[in-house]
Amino acid sequence: MTAAIQDAVREAGELRAPLRIVAGESWLDAGRPVKANRVLSVGDLSGIVDYVPSDLTITVRAGTRLSEIERATRENGQWFPVNPFGTSEATIGASVATASSGPLSHGFGAIRDLVLGFEAVTGDAKVIRGGGRVVKNVAGFDLVRLMTGSWGTLGVITELTLRLYGLPYNRRTVAIEAPTDARKLAERLRALRDAPVIPFALELLNATAARKVGLPPRQIILVELGGNNAAVDSQIDALKNFGTLIDGSAEMWDALRKPEAGEQIVFRVSGLPALLPERWERTSRVALSSENATMHASIGRGTVRCILTSDPGVAVLDQLSAPDANDTLILERAPATWWTKISPSAVDNRVSQNLKRGFDPLGILNPGILGPVN
């Protein structure tokens, strides 16, 4: 099956016909500036290649949907603790290619921390492998990290080996009300960080996001706990010090991840975790430009994610900057006009350009998706 991808890449190279690499096709409307006249899909490249439950590793084809991995591993009391924004119908190939993670990255790290190995077809139609099927490996230069988050511009990922975890005996989701006042919010978050809790996920939700997950429309902190019963119970007790706990459910996380009907613009702002309250406040001002904007933030990572259902014009983002914040803005979905203004290029440095040249000498893989390559 990799051979078919290899043939398609070789042919595109001979014709100098740039390819748009796709899998589940759920984010094709994100507005990314790709210049390509052909589509190459790995969507049909799906299924489990190898799964040894006792090793807690699984090897799957790139087009395998997260839901399928979830099903197969759950039967063995295991899981792949990655829940990128979107749905579980997303493919593992696209999730790795775009380095997409979700709320669980608080407890389990980003997707780059959980990929053990891959197979890919580079732009010159060579099949390469990096990493392996073991959980620790430093043999050779780290092609795995290079391929993760390269948005298909260095190679078409065809297969992945992932690290799995045992499913916790107990999982519970609870919500705590969060103060809206920035100073009080800062105090609350600091106390939470120092409390004897080690959550799987810890997100701050604005009122719209709270309503979206089925909670009263107020600013809240949504917490997922997991482990044995004693671990979960002791954390519930610790959280009670922060106010009344509202019982939640696992489905709330799926609701939070699910793209909204009519979402136009999605962006993330990240920076130092301790400065999250200020970042949250600045992002709230941007959110005011669109009716019912959804906002949520990873408290541990300090990243705010904002979803607008109308296009207020790119200038609205000027409000995000603060003199000493040094924050980073990343667009997930936006009209084409926004991209050139916001993300001129994520690969405009010499090393990145050299890498692109080395792995895709003809420039046929997703050209422009990370910005121009000169």
Stretch 44-83 residues interacting with another protein (CB under 8 A)? 52-57, 77-78
Angle at 238 between CA 234 and CA 240, to 5 degrees: 120
Instruction: For residue 269, state whether it binds another protein (rule: CB under 8 A).
Output: yes
Of 8 and 213, which CB lies nearer to another protein in the complex structure?
8
Candidates 41, 87, 180, 234; binder of another protein (CB under 8 A) is 234
Distance of alpha carbon 327 from alpha carbon 271, whole angstroms: 5
Candidates 11, 26, 30, 145; binder of another protein (CB under 8 A) is 145
Instruction: For residue 167, state whether it binds another protein (rule: CB under 8 A).
Output: yes
| Residue 273 · residue 302 · CB < 8 Å | yes
Instruction: For residue 233, state whether it binds another protein (rule: CB under 8 A).
Output: yes
Q: Provide the β-strand partners of residue 155.
A: 122
Which position has the token pair 């926004």?
338
Distance of alpha carbon 265 from alpha carbon 115, whole angstroms: 29
CA 192 to chain CA centroid, Å, is 24
Quick one: which segment of 33-41, 62-70, 85-93, 315-323 binds another protein (CB under 8 A)? 33-41
Distance of alpha carbon 250 from alpha carbon 7, whole angstroms: 43
Identify residues 300-319 at the interface with another protein (CB under 8 A). 301-303
CB of 289 to another protein, least distance (A): 22
CB of 245 to another protein, least distance (A): 17
Q: What are phi and psi of 160, to 5 degrees?
A: -140, 145
Instruction: For residue 344, state whether it binds another protein (rule: CB under 8 A).
Output: yes
CB of 26 to another protein, least distance (A): 19
Of 112 and 258, which CB lies nearer to another protein in the complex structure?
112
CA 139 to chain CA centroid, Å, is 27
CB of 133 to another protein, least distance (A): 6
Instruction: For residue 355, state whether it binds another protein (rule: CB under 8 A).
Output: yes
Instruction: For residue 166, state whether it binds another protein (rule: CB under 8 A).
Output: yes
- Per DSSP, the three-state class of 363 is coil
The tokens of 27 are what? 């984010």
Q: Are strands 245-247 and 170-177 parallel, antiparallel or unpaired?
A: antiparallel
Identify residues 244-263 at the interface with another protein (CB under 8 A). none
* SS3 of the chain: helix, strand, coil, percent, to 5: 35, 25, 40
The tokens of 247 are what? 């019982």
Candidates 26, 30, 87, 132; binder of another protein (CB under 8 A) is 132
Instruction: For residue 158, state whether it binds another protein (rule: CB under 8 A).
Output: no
